[in-house]
């Protein structure tokens, strides 16, 4: 009975969501009022002359649009231990480290109980819609989740990645139980100090509980693909552990070893079964349902920079549905995936109007402003004019601005979204790209999505040889005259020079942006260069980020490496096995 009561009543969650989204405009006004009232004594707001006003008009008139850089001095004081109300009414005691993929180093952002509550609200909302279509039974989840290194700031605040802060929160476990997604691995594995060891143990736990596993998930899809790529390497060792009931010596941390020892018992039948299943598979197709016969779906963020992993994920998933998780950031959540039937490529996210106050900078108008600004050479003087949540237009693209319960006011997150439609009166957003992740030299403009499409096209040429692009990145090389695009590929095996030359030409031709093509034709942009890197190069990039305090759970491969990210650039450039220049133009 108790267990039954602990499970979330999805109909109530959906009812609440429906009611709230029918009135998104007034919920937004109320939310802004609440944020401003709760934080009225914060120094940041006090200095802006709101004088107790909480309406959107006064808010927009008094509070400037900011980037992370503008807030750094305030955040620095908080991390240094100043507990006066700086950005929030209540002092901040925990800091999140955003993945920092774009800049190359993690950013510090405040984390608090309100942010935790919005996280849980997002989890509950998408689960409610998901479970209506794909009900999970009693059981467990194989979750590839990892904590980052725990650290303390100079002022003694806890600092970890946002996901780590969520996993460590006392409410996390109950919440996971309520949405029937309890992780099958013990805490020692999730919080283990070495992700290679944790990954191995997650796999082992999954196999031990194979009949009970209802879903396979991670925060971002990359971790799931990495897990099963690893499985291909270590499956025999996993079988040996299960057969003997003795954990591999590769697991060295005593806390992890003793937690695993409680679960691992000699089970030769299970070892034989897994061995048989693995050897019967063709190129690991359908591995996940074969290993976990009761899995209902695969779950994790699959849009944006995760899309390139979908092909491999589908390969492992066989017929199982892939469901994209929600849309948010270390700074705060934005929307939930309430239409789980859509394939990840078409997934959009309905904004929850009570988790923050949202504004949107229309990008079409802004392009003109941008050009005008360049002419006036006063780029930053023209303030873009954002619109409110219910004023966005279907089909248009916007840069998203958030005001959160955790001390961010009119904060430019840096993401570009497209409005796909409305659910009641709240918009459904598709993630388009990071705004500053752009390949540009001259009048060309290619986004992460354009790069992904070009890579997909060119990768078809090596698919014929049963090879795949394991991961990729790019860089604008302006050290040559003219500058040119450099695309880095890690490939699963050997491919002939002829085919790679063709891939290079194909990449060059696949950037269909008019500015790129015309610049290439007149040689204002030089021939595209394809650099094939050694196997394991992208693992080195991952290790580099983990060393900086990032966590595997939140890792996103940097798709476009800028000049400020010199360590990643060094790793890529230092591991080039072969390079090719395009002759396509
Ligand atoms: P982090 O820096 O680790 O907090 O990551 C937050 C960023 O990840 C967001 O600003 C987005 O760029 C990206 N992101 C988060 N959720 C999604 C999603 N559902 N689809 C695409 N990109 C996402």
Atom of ligand 1 nearest to the CA of 326: 19
Tokens of 96: 């999140």
Dist CA 313 CA 320 (whole Å): 10
Query: What is the spatial distance between Cα 242 and Cα 266, in angstroms, rounded to a whole number?
Result: 6
Query: DSSP labels for 413-444?
Result: EEEEEEEEEEETTEEEEEEEEETT-EE-SSS-
Q: Roughly how many angstroms between the first and final C-alpha of the chain, as a whole number?
A: 70
Q: How many CB atoms lie within 10 A of CB 61?
A: 12
Pocket-testing residue among 301, 342, 412, 559, ligand 1, by greatest number of atoms within 8 A of Cβ: 301
Report the separation in Å between the CA atom of 301 and the middle of ligand 1, taken as the mean of its atom positions: 8
- Residue found under tokens 């060792």: 237
Whole-angstrom distance, CA of residue 296 vs CA of residue 298: 7
Ligand 1 binding residues, C-beta < 6 A: 98-99, 162, 301, 303-304, 327-330, 413, 415, 431, 434, 554
Q: Which residue from 108, 218, 306, 415 has its CB within 8 A of the most atoms of ligand 1, so it is best to mutate?
A: 415
pLDDT tens per residue across all 585 residues of the chain = 344 447 899 999 999 999 999 999 999 999 999 999 999 999 999 999 999 999 999 999 999 999 999 999 999 999 999 999 999 999 999 999 887 766 667 789 999 999 999 999 999 999 999 999 999 988 999 999 998 877 899 999 999 889 999 999 999 989 999 998 999 999 999 999 999 999 999 999 999 999 999 999 999 999 999 999 999 999 999 999 999 999 999 999 999 999 999 999 999 999 999 999 999 999 999 999 999 999 999 999 999 989 999 999 999 999 999 999 999 999 999 999 999 999 999 999 999 999 999 999 999 754 444 444 444 433 444 668 999 999 999 999 999 999 999 999 999 999 999 999 999 999 999 999 888 778 999 899 998 889 999 999 999 999 988 899 999 999 999 999 999 999 999 999 999 999 999 999 999 999 999 999 999 999 999 999 999 999 999 999 999 988 887 888 888 899 999 888 889 999 999 999 999 999 999
Reduce the DSSP state of residue 249 to 3 states and report it.
Answer: coil
The string over 298-308, giving b where at least 16 C-beta atoms fall within 10 Å of a residue's C-beta and e elsewhere, is bbbbbbbbbbb
Residue with the smallest CA separation from ligand 1 atom 19 is 327
Total residues found in the chain within this entry: 585
Cis peptide leading into residue 482 (ω within 30°) = yes
**327 CA distance to ligand 1 centroid (A)?**
6
Please tell me the distance between residue 366's alpha carbon and the centre of ligand 1 in angstroms: 23
Cα 182 to ligand 1 centroid, rounded to whole Å: 23
CB 572 within 8 A of CB 488: yes
| Distance from the alpha carbon of residue 32 to the mean position of ligand 1, in angstroms | 23
The predicted structure's pLDDT at residue 465? 84
Q: Is 466 left (phi over 0), alpha (psi -120 to 50) or beta?
A: left
For the chain, helix, strand, coil in percent to 5 are 45, 20, 35
**Minimum CA distance residue for ligand 1 atom 16:** 327
Separation of 436 CA from ligand 1 center, angstroms? Answer: 14
| Number of other residues whose CB lies within 10 A of the CB of residue 582 | 22
* CA distance to 92, 111, 159, 515, per residue, from 156 (Å): 11, 14, 9, 50
Instruction: Identify the CA nearest to 349 among candidates 401, 411, 302, 413.
Output: 302
Closest residue (by CA) to atom 3 of ligand 1?
99
Out of 97, 167, 327, 553, mutate this one to test ligand 1's pocket (max ligand atoms within 8 Å of CB): namely: 327
In this structure, which residue's CA is closest to atom 7 in ligand 1?
329
Question: Any bridge partners for residue 323, and if so which?
Answer: 299
Sign of the CA dihedral with 513 first, then 518, 521, and 523 last: negative
What is the best residue among 408, 556, 559 to mutate for testing ligand 1's pocket, by most ligand atoms within 8 Å of CB? 556
Nearest to 278 by CA among 236, 215, 317: 236
- 306 CA to centre of ligand 1 in angstroms: 10
Q: What's the gap in Å between 70 CA and the centre of ligand 1?
A: 21
């Amino acid at each position: 009975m108790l267990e039954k009561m602990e499970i979330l009543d999805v109909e109530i969650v959906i009812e609440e969501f429906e009611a709230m989204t029918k009135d998104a405009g007034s919920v937004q006004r109320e939310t802004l009022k609440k944020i401003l009232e709760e934080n009225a004594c914060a120094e940041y707001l006090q200095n802006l002359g709101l004088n107790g006003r909480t309406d959107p008009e006064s808010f927009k008139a008094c509070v400037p649009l900011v980037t992370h850089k503008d807030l750094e001095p305030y955040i620095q004081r908080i991390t240094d231990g100043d507990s006066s109300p700086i950005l929030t009414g209540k002092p901040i005691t925990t800091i999140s480290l955003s993945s920092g993929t774009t800049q190359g180093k993690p950013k510090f952002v405040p984390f608090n109980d309100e942010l935790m509550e919005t996280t849980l609200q997002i989890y509950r909302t998408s689960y409610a819609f998901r479970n209506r279509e794909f009900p999970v039974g009693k059981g467990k989840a194989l979750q590839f989740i990892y904590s980052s290194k725990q650290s303390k700031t100079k002022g003694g605040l806890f600092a970890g990645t946002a996901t780590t802060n969520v996993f460590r929160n006392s409410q996390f476990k109950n919440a996971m139980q309520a949405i029937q997604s309890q992780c099958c691995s013990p805490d020692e594995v999730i919080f283990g100090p070495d992700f290679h060891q944790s990954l191995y143990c997650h796999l082992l736990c999954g196999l031990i509980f194979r009949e009970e596993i209802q879903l396979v998930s991670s925060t971002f899809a990359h971790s799931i693909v990495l897990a099963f790529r690893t499985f291909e390497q270590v499956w025999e060792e996993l079988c040996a552990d299960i057969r003997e009931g003795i954990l591999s010596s590769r697991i060295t941390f005593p806390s992890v070893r003793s937690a695993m020892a409680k679960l691992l018992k000699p089970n030769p039948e299970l070892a034989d079964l897994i061995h048989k299943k693995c050897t019967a598979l063709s190129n690991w197709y359908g591995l996940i349902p074969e290993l976990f016969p009761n899995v209902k779906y695969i779950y994790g963020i699959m849009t944006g920079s995760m899309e390139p992993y979908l092909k491999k994920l589908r390969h492992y998933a066989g017929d199982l549905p892939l469901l994209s998780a929600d849309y948010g950031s270390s700074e705060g959540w934005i929307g939930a995936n309430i239409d789980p039937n859509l394939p990840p490529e078409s997934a959009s996210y309905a904004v929850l109007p009570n988790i923050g106050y949202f504004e949107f900078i229309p990008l079409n108008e802004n392009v003109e402003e941008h050009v005008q600004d360049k002419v006036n050479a006063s780029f930053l003087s023209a303030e873009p004019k954002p619109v409110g949540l219910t004023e966005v237009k279907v089909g248009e693209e916007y840069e998203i601005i958030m005001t959160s319960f955790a001390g961010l006011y009119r904060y430019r997150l840096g993401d570009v979204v497209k409005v796909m439609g409305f659910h009641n009166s709240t918009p459904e957003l598709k993630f388009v790209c990071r705004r500053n992740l752009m390949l540009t030299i001259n009048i060309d403009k290619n986004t992460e999505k354009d790069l992904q499409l070009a890579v997909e096209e060119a990768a078809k040429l090596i698919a014929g040889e049963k090879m795949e692009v394991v991961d990729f990145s790019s860089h604008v090389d302006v050290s040559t005259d003219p500058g040119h695009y450099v695309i880095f590929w890690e490939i699963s095996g050997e491919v002939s020079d002829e085919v790679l030359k063709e891939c290079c030409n194909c990449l060059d031709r696949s950037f269909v942006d008019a500015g790129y093509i015309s610049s290439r034709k007149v040689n204002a942009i030089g021939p595209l260069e394809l650099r094939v890197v050694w196997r394991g190069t992208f693992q080195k990039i991952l290790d580099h980020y983990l060393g900086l305090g990032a966590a595997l759970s939140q890792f996103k491969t940097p798709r476009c490496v800028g000049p400020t990210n010199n360590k990643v650039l060094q790793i890529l450039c230092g591991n080039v096995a072969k390079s090719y220049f395009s002759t396509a133009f």
